[in-house]
Amino acid sequence: MSFFKGKGNPFLVAGPCSAETREQVLEIAGALQQQPVHLFRAGVWKPRTRPGSFEGVGEEALQWLQEVKQQYDLPVTTEVASPQHVELALKYGVDILWIGARTTVNPFQVQRIADALKGVDIPVMVKNPVNPDADLWQGAIERVAAVGIKDIAAIHRGFSTYNAASVYRNQPNWPIPIELKRRMPDLPIICDPSHITGNRNLVADIAQKAMNMGFEGLMIETHNDPDKAWSDAAQQVTPDALAKMLQQLIVRDNSDIGLSEGMELEYLRQIMDGVDAEIIDLIARRMELSEKIGRLKKDSNLTAYQPERWSDIVNTRGERAEQLGLSREFIVELYEKIHHHSISKQLEILQGLTKQVKS
């Protein structure tokens, strides 16, 4: 029987982004013991983007997780990013391991971790890679399965984006976990709305979408004093906020998923919502580039509208549309609106230069 199935709906993982102090870990665990939490999470080693940030307490924090198990009868999990992490986590009796997004993206490192797990009977969760690649995600899961790990779950934590204007820290890109589920229908998928949103005010909305799509579980970062957290403060919720969120959460019956027309409709709508969000993010990114081009035109004393460039856009985008079975006229009409807005932005930049010269 899978650790991730049959314990509740949804399977709930909660706890702080990072184990900071013994008192903090035990206080949060005590608060979560009163809630339907199936697994206590805490980062012991933290892969950070830049050096100098808090990178976790390390081995000492594993002792605090031991205390959580003993005092509150809560199974515990932490992220491992190397064979050494695996060895230490097993030494201190960690119940479940997870492989993080920054590790999943590297097949060499995933294989090293998998090799360290050979012959070990322990459930493992695999987060999606930071880049939107279903094959890479599936490959990491297969590497873990190949060494004999039978109880595996996937964690959907969203995908990196270059768009600074995005409302999310990591794009949900729903079609990718849906595609993974199509390929591996028995694989439990746990959604991590904390990392997708990067904003505690948006966590509930993403959690509900995950339930609407039939995901088996949620991983929600929970902290006793989120604003003072040593890592990812903005995305963590308090235990009380988690309780309210769970009370309002509508859990769908996914026992006949794939057979219910209503659920299929919900899947398709969620995919469409994800695609629409990506379209808007890409248009925003295009406008950022357009403004940069406008500044270059200003510095080079060029006009905002350049007929040859617009002609090239019409031809290339129209041809691309036809190759994909779309109407050339529809795409050209769409680009006329995008181009018009782009030129308007550039004109604003050039007019700003004119005003500066006159003054």
Q: What is the DSSP string of 64-82?
A: HHHHHHHHH---EEEE--S
| Global pTM value | 0.75
- For 182, the token pair is 């199509």
Dihedrals φ, ψ of 188, to 5°?
-65, 140
Distance CA 29, CA 10 (A): 19
Same domain for 184 and 276, yes or no, is no
Residue 263: what pLDDT?
55
pLDDT at 164: 61
pLDDT in tens, 269-279: 777 887 888 88
Out of 254, 270, 290, pick the residue that ends a domain.
Answer: 254
> What pLDDT sits at residue 229?
95
* Adjacent-strand bridge partners of 171: 159
Q: Nearest-CA neighbor of 154 among 61, 102, 219, 95?
A: 219
156: Cα within 13 Å, side-chain hemisphere:
30
Count: domains in the chain:
2
Quick one: pLDDT at residue 285?
A: 87
CATH number of the domain that residue 329 is part of: 1.20.59.10
Range of the domain at 234: 11-254
For residue 4, tell me if it sits in a domain: no
Determine how β-strand 11-15 pairs with β-strand 152-156.
unpaired
Alpha-carbon distance 137 to 126, whole Å? 8
Same domain, 249 and 321: no
229 plus 339 within the same structural domain: no
Which residue among 236, 254, 272 closes a domain? 254
Same-domain pairing of 247 and 274 = no
Question: Cα-flanking dihedrals φ and ψ of residue 155, to 5°?
Answer: -115, 120
* Any domain includes 2: no
The DSSP code sequence of 169-237 is SSB--THHHHHHHHHSTTS-EEE-HHHHHSSGGGHHHHHHHHHHTT-SEEEEEB-SSGGG-SS-GGG-B
The per-residue pLDDT for 261 is 53
Same domain, 239 and 274: no
Low-confidence stretches of the chain (pLDDT < 50) are: 256-260, 353-359
Answer yes or no: do 243 and 341 share one domain.
no
Same-domain check for residues 206 and 92: yes
91 and 213 both lie in a single domain:
yes
| Residues with Cβ within 8 Å of residue 90, at least 6 apart in sequence | 120, 122
Q: Is residue 327 part of a domain?
A: yes
pLDDT at 257: 47
Close Cβ partners of 133 (under 8 Å, ≥ 6 residues apart): 176
Q: Is residue 21 part of a domain?
A: yes
What pLDDT, on the 0 to 100 scale, is given for residue 7? Answer: 76
User: Which has the closest alpha carbon to 302: 237, 349, 239, 233?
Assistant: 349
273 and 294 co-located in one domain: yes
- The DSSP-derived string for 119-167 is T----EEEEPPSS--HHHHHHHHHHHHHTT---EEEEE--B--S-TT-S
Same domain, 89 and 238: yes
Is residue 58 domain-shared with residue 149, that is, in the same domain?
yes
